[in-house]
């Protein structure tokens, strides 16, 4: 009924879930032409992620919802985004204890769904150059180590360690915004795409689309004991 913004796969029920600007989540069985279930959202869906039985959804109006999808989807958490501006992307932690959400203001929020000893929810700045602020376009977690990457409209890729609150690696900026990114299942490859994101309208259009594949080494994605990292988080 409106543009589809996000799609995920629920392994436990073998169904596809889609979220769109019609303010709905729809659940699909590939054997049927119509959705087998529908959930109403408080606003338009801007981002969504699924990992194991956890599904997290970010909508317009800075709403964030979490669902247990081990059976019939059940809402387990609802909150206002810890970030002040529009949500752009969201990703579940590898252990499903929480999520990371990125916004158009060049900031990421790390949020735990329940209290975890020694861990607290927090937010930090990224993808900023002096007075210029860029959108965080995608977040992806490494399946083995639980560290993660952010990519932004500044053309930069960063690897982060949320537990130690440090940046592990920063790539040199490329000419166009980085609009999507993902690790493969084994975490040995990292793919990201570059294209114009229309954040500055047609007058700033830089034509062209490219896909990059980076071979990941362990020293890039996990912090060795005693190793100095490139920087700490900026709150």
**What's the confidence (pLDDT) of residue 217?**
94
pLDDT at 53 over 90: yes
Banded pLDDT at 6 (limits 50, 70, 90): very high
Look at the chain and report how many structural domains it folds into.
Answer: 1
Residue 215's pLDDT is 97
86 contacts 104 by C-beta, under 8 angstroms: yes
More confident residue, 64 or 118: 64
Interval 216-221 mean pLDDT: 93
How does pLDDT run across 147-165, given as a tens digit for each residue?
Answer: 999 999 999 999 999 999 9
Asked if residues 107 and 123 have their Cβ atoms less than 8 Å apart, the reply is yes
Looking at residue 119, what is its pLDDT? 85
Alpha-carbon distance of 14 to 28, in angstroms, equals: 9
| CATH at residue 183 | 2.130.10.10
DSSP assignment letter at 134:
-
pLDDT at 115: 83
Copy the structure tokens of residue 130: 């002096």
The SS3 of residue 66 is strand
pLDDT in tens, 168-194: 999 999 989 999 999 999 999 999 999
46 is in which domain, residue-wise?
4-232
Q: Is the pLDDT of residue 228 over 60?
A: no
**pTM of this structure:** 0.91
Q: Give the mean pLDDT of 112-138.
A: 90
Is the four-CA dihedral 201, 202, 208, 209 of positive or negative sign?
positive
Residue 3 contacts by C-beta under 8 Å, 6 or more apart in sequence?
A: 20, 21
CA atoms of 165 and 122, how far apart (whole Å): 10
Contact 162, 221 (CB under 8 A): no
pLDDT band at 85 (very low <50, low <70, confident <90, very high): very high
CA–CA separation, 127 vs 8, rounded Å?
26
More confident: 117 or 42: 42
């Amino acid at each position: 009924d409106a543009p589809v913004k996000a799609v995920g796969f629920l392994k436990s029920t073998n169904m596809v879930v889609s979220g769109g600007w019609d303010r709905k989540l729809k659940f699909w069985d590939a054997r049927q032409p119509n959705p087998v279930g529908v959930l109403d959202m408080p606003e338009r869906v801007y981002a969504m992620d699924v990992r194991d039985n956890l599904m997290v959804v970010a909508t317009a109006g800075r709403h964030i919802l979490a669902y247990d999808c081990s059976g019939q989807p059940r809402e387990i958490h609802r909150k206002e985004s810890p970030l002040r501006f529009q949500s752009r992307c969201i990703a579940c932690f590898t252990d499903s204890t929480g999520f990371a959400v990125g916004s158009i203001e060049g900031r990421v929020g790390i949020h735990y769904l329940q209290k975890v000893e020694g861990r607290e929810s927090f937010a930090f700045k990224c993808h900023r150059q002096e007075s210029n602020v860029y959108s965080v376009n995608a977040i992806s977690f490494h399946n083995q180590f639980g560290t993660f990457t952010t990519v932004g409209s500044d053309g930069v890729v960063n690897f982060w360690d949320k537990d130690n609150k440090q940046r592990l690696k920063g790539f040199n900026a490329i000419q166009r915004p980085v609009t999507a990114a993902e690790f493969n299942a084994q975490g040995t490859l990292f793919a990201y795409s570059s294209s114009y994101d229309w954040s500055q309208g047609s007058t700033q259009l830089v034509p062209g689309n490219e896909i990059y594949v980076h071979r990941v080494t362990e020293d890039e994605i996990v912090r060795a004991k005693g190793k100095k990292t490139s920087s700490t988080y900026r709150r």
